[in-house]
Amino acid sequence: MEPSYQRKRLLCRTSRRSMTSHRAKCLLTHRDATHPECLVVLFEYKEPNMWCCKVGGGDGDGGVHGGGWCRYTYDIGDYEVPGGEPPTKDLISSVAAVQGEIFFISSAEDMCAINFSSSTLLALMRITLD
């Protein structure tokens, strides 16, 4: 019986200075990590930050598809804290990846999608639920 070898794929280059060791929810934008547009996307649990990196490196053009980690700080509103405490930033928590886009619930009425098709700019679309 011959040994079985699994092909390993480099997900993303990391740098200690560019990424901290935060706990985060991790998603792939595509079901197949070998898809040419697949990204690793991390949502920090404690801060409104999203990290993105092209699977297997990048094309060197900078931005999301550039081969390194990109951090985006987002603002989807404030969470009102009971008891007169100051509000805190609302965080993306209910999130799913579907065919290259990230979908999340931003309120009881709204769902949003993040599109990664541009190399340096993310497109955010709001979808109102009726």
Domain limits at 118? Answer: 24-128
Q: Identify the pLDDT of residue 18.
A: 46
- Alpha-carbon distance of 130 to 42, in angstroms, equals 29
Answer yes or no: is 82 within a domain.
Answer: yes
- Four-residue CA torsion sign, 96, 115, 111, 79: positive
pLDDT in tens, 29-54: 999 989 988 999 999 998 999 998 88
**What is the tally of structural domains in the chain?**
1
| Mean pLDDT score, 10-24 | 53
Structure confidence at residue 115 as a pLDDT band (50, 70, 90): confident
Answer yes or no: is 5 within a domain.
Answer: no
Answer yes or no: is 19 within a domain.
Answer: no
Answer yes or no: is 117 within a domain.
Answer: yes
